[in-house]
Amino acid sequence: MKFSVITVCYNSAATLPEAMQSLAAQQMQDYEWVVVDGASSDGTQDIAASFSGPRGAFVSERDGGIYAAMNKGVSLARGEFLYFLNSDDRLSDAQVLGDVAATLAARPELELLYGNVIYIKPDGRVLRRFDHIDRGTLRFEDLCHQAVFAHRELFERLGGFNERFRTNADYDWLLRVFASGAMTAWTDRTVGEFRTGGAHMRDLPMAMAERRAVRLQYMGKAALAWGDFRRRVRHRLHILRHGHRPGQVPLPT
């Protein structure tokens, strides 16, 4: 099996159908859908049960939070590559899995492939291109997990998400992957649509402090300060020249 698409959800009846339909519409059917539900009480389980595509594991029970649920999904997955489809997000079109599979077939050495993501914000849509992300820049930038297809062996070799981080465990895991020397690559292909305003936005100061703590695992305070200063300068120059930050392209409404 090529892909395990993992969805963690809790009381997601209002948004899960759109995510589920974007998966069921995939022309490539070499995947399983793994659902980890946190014991919802709004009918989420019934919606998931109506899925018309290939089914994988389904669990509905209380858990220790989003990253505990994601780790549970990893343990249940049987596919070669894992992809996390959030319950309020969606795959961008019906050819995503097929196109990604073709790219991976052409690059069998790859352990992690990441594409582009459309961010859906209250004030409009923004295309996020992650071609500027590599081992060096990721420490000062970000990479949306909705963009990432990861080989299952990466989790076996490097471990799962560190559950002591409340909002940045996926970022911490990606830094671990890049620091390990794993074979990674970007593809100029939009793979998903991501709705902003998740858990990290509910307490932004906490999320930013936690992100700093994650980064300090991989560098000292002086290196972090210098790298962050360079990032701000680079972003400012890019805005002056192009009208937007690196990798962020406003889309017409």
Per residue in 121-145, pLDDT (tens digit) is: 888 889 999 999 999 999 999 999 9
What's residue 182's pLDDT? 97
pLDDT surpasses 90 at 187: yes
pLDDT surpasses 70 at 199: no
Q: Report strand pairing: 148-151 vs 81-84.
A: antiparallel
Token pair 């076996």 is found at 156
What's residue 121's pLDDT? 85
Segment 23-44 shows an average pLDDT of 96
Segment 9-32 shows an average pLDDT of 96
What's residue 13's pLDDT? 95
In 3D, which of 141, 137, 172 has the Cα closest to residue 158? 172
What's residue 253's pLDDT? 64
User: Mind spelling out the 3-state secondary structure of the chain?
Assistant: CCEEEEEEECCCCCCHHHHHHHHHCCCCCCEEEEEEECCCCCCHHHHHHCCCCCEEEEEECCCCCHHHHHHHHHHHCCCCEEEECCCCCEECCCCHHHHHHHHHHHCCCCCEEEEEEEEEECCEEEEECCCCCCCCCCCCCCCCHHHEEEEHHHHHHHCCCCCCCCCCHHHHHHHHHHHCCCCEEEEEEEEEEEECCCHHHHCHHHHHHHHHHHHHCCCCHHHHHHHHHHHHHHHHHHHHHHCCCCCEEECCC
Q: Which residues contact 203 (CB under 8 A, 6 or more apart)?
A: 167
User: Contact 117/192 with Cβ under 8 angstroms?
Assistant: yes
Average pLDDT over the chain, rounded to an integer? 93
**pLDDT-based confidence at residue 246 (cuts at 50, 70, 90):** confident
Percent of the chain with pLDDT over 90: 83
**pLDDT-based confidence at residue 247 (cuts at 50, 70, 90):** confident
In 3D, which of 145, 146, 116, 148 has the Cα closest to residue 130? 116
Residue 117 has a CB neighbour count (10 Å cut-off) of 24
All structural domains of the chain: 3-250 (3.90.550.10)
Token pair 């062996």 is found at 153
What's residue 250's pLDDT? 81
What's residue 197's pLDDT? 67
**pLDDT-based confidence at residue 8 (cuts at 50, 70, 90):** very high
Q: Which residues contact 212 (CB under 8 A, 6 or more apart)?
A: 224
pLDDT in tens, 159-176: 999 999 999 999 999 999
Buried b (16+ CB within 10 A) or exposed e, 2-14: bbbbbbbbbbbbe
pLDDT in tens, 63-115: 889 999 999 999 999 999 999 999 999 999 999 999 999 999 999 999 999 99
Segment 174-180 shows an average pLDDT of 97
